[in-house]
Structure 1
Amino acid sequence: MSMRLEGKTALVTGATSNIGRAIAEAFAAQGAHVAVSGRSAERGEEVVAGIRARGGRADFVRADLDGSAAASRTLAEEATHVLGGRIDVLVNNAGIYPADSTTATDEKTFDRVYGVNVKAPFFLTAAVAPAMVEAGGGSIINLGSWIARLGIPVGALYSSTKGAVETLTRAWAAEFGPQGVRVNAISPGVVLTPAPDEEHPAEVMMKGTPANRMGSPEDIANAAVYLAADESAFVHGIVLDVDGGRTTAAVIAA
């Protein structure tokens, strides 16, 4: 049986841990040549080594996506080079999450979070999408969040950035879709890998959902494979909720 991403190339930002790492590993397992991007060379090389040990193709590209257009353009250029001249799939995953209240958030933090979570993927998409168009098509996958649409009393700054990313997803689908580049987003629920025999404080946020559990990075990676693969060729501009039903359904205990 052929692999779903055989022959494709992919750049995954924030790919040295958690969801980004799982996506990079899943893409490689499905046959893609993956550019693993992140700030830590040590963690990046560890991810690459693991992928290669399982027979996959991956290279590390260090990047500190601070929101500057120059940083995003440099990553696009370096990833294109290591991937042999093209990027078929871009996953805008890198992000930071300060859980401060609105009144505790200073201007420096505000600018930094918007720089990493919004400006960086904006300018990276601007750098990558034209080459995808020229090559005949591609897929861009953004990472949103369930708290962009269901308010919680902390993290207003972060949730607003993810609302921006989801809006950009729809706008980019309209802008680039007619030229062959599909743009979609994934909205994860609470996704953490809890320590064995320990209940993580965030688990309470998934109580009363159909899944009744936190998600795993692999849950999100499976959705990313679908959006990157040709089987989703007719899918444009969606925000795919992979959140255990957090934003759509409430389970009433009997």
Structure 2
Amino acid sequence: MTDTFVFAAPEASHTLPLVFDSPHSGQLFPSDFVSRVQPEQLLTGCDLFVDDLWESVPAVGGHLLSARYSRMYVDLNRAPDDIDPLLLEGPLEGINPTAYSERGMGLIRRLALPDVPMYDSRFSLSQIHTRIHEYHKPYHQQLKSTLDALHERFSGVWHIDCHSMKSRGNRMNIDSGALRPDVVLGDNDGHSAGADFIDVIEQAFVRLGYSVVRNSPYKGGYLVRNYGDVTNNRHSMQIEINRALYMNEQKFSPNENYAAFKKDLFTISQQIADFVAHTAA
């Protein structure tokens, strides 16, 4: 189902082994989605505008993959077996819940916000497997095939998983109540990407005046851990951007700094592309 995501590739003559993806920017819900949660509460879990903020990536030689459907339906940045047992009816075989599920934020969300349950009823495994087959699997097939093809062609590939974060953590976050920096770079504590790649990205943000922290509170989720393999020259890292930089978090709308921030991200993406072009040459 290719309509579950949007994929933009650069011109063939300008292709770099660079892939950005935005798994949480989708806002659509399938017709079978039934929830007790209000629309504005659902939006708090969405990385609103992140796909648009990075839309210039193909212009600098990178590929851009973004989800069309909401992570509140199925989370593309979770393992397909990270299923919350509290959401299931019947047998619990074949599931491997992680700390994300324990906090209500697994493959299928149990909580939209602290103390705000998503559903009034439970699911069968077959219902969850349908969500995986129809929405989770196609996204990962596209991402994996793109990364594999670029790696085969260039003997290396660089992947950036793009996200946004609330300006202050809530009780579902490990940094509950804390004010966040402008940017958090996650490389799974140095295990999913080369240090030179992370350094270039950090310096690009810092030169433009942004505060940057590494791996706290975000180290990178399933996408980074699954696709990063530094020993085989596969580099994967996550960029979390503070929503207050570009949007009104209460109104879910762009703020007065949106255009300027988007321009800064173009500058940063160009510097990342320059690094990849030089490194892959």
TM range (shorter): 0.3 to 0.5
Normalization by structure 1: what TM-score? 0.39
